[in-house]
Chain A
Amino acid sequence: MFIIRARYSILAGFLCLFGILACGQPAEPANPTLPAATIIPSAIVPSEPVITGKGIVVIQQTTSTENVGTFPLFQWEAVPGAVRYILVVKTGESRPYWSWEGAETSVYLGGGGSEPPPEGSVGPRLFEPMTWTVYAFAADDRLVGASARRPISP
Chain B
Amino acid sequence: MGVLLLSTIVTPNDAAAQPSFQPGLVLPDGQWTATAVTAGPITGAGFAGAIIYDGAFSFIVTDGVVAGDWNILGTSNFSGGCFSGNGAYVIEGIIDGTAAGPVLRQTGGYGNSTVSLCDGTEQSGPISMSGALTAPITLTSVSCEQAVGHFKLPADMAVASGGASSDLVAPFIATRAEAVLSHDMEIYSGEVTALTLEGLDLTNSVEGGELLDFVALNEILGRAEELYRQLRLINDCDRRNAGEFINSLQSTIAGLIDTALAHPDQFSSHDIARLISAALRVGLIGDGAADPDLASQYERELINELERRLDEGLDDCVDAAGLVVGADLLGVDGLLEAIQTDLDALCL
Contacts and interface: CB of A to CB of B under 8 A. Distances in A.
Contact of B325 (A52, A91, A120, A135): A135
Given A120-B232, A122-B228, A140-B318, A101 B218 contact: yes
Interface residues of A, number: 41
A76 B177 CA distance: 38
A78 interface: no
A110 B282 CA distance: 9
Given A97-B243, A122-B179, A53 B325 contact: no
B226 interface: yes
A133 B145 CA distance: 29
The A interface is mostly helix, strand or loop, or mixed, namely: loop
The B interface is mostly helix, strand or loop, or mixed, namely: helix
Given A95-B331, A97-B243, A101-B278, A86 B273 contact: yes
B329 interface: yes
Interface stretch (A9-17, A33-41, A59-67, A123-131): A123-131
Given A54-B347, A141-B318, A142-B317, A117 B229 contact: yes
A97 B268 contact: no
Interface of B: 143, 145-146, 179, 181, 214, 218, 221-222, 225-229, 231-233, 242-243, 245, 268, 270, 273-274, 276-278, 280-281, 283, 285-288, 317-318, 321-322, 324-325, 328-331, 333, 336, 340, 343-344, 347-348
13 contacts: A51-B328, A86-B329, A91-B287, A96-B285, A96-B330, A99-B276, A99-B280, A101-B214, A101-B274, A110-B225, A121-B229, A124-B288, A125-B243
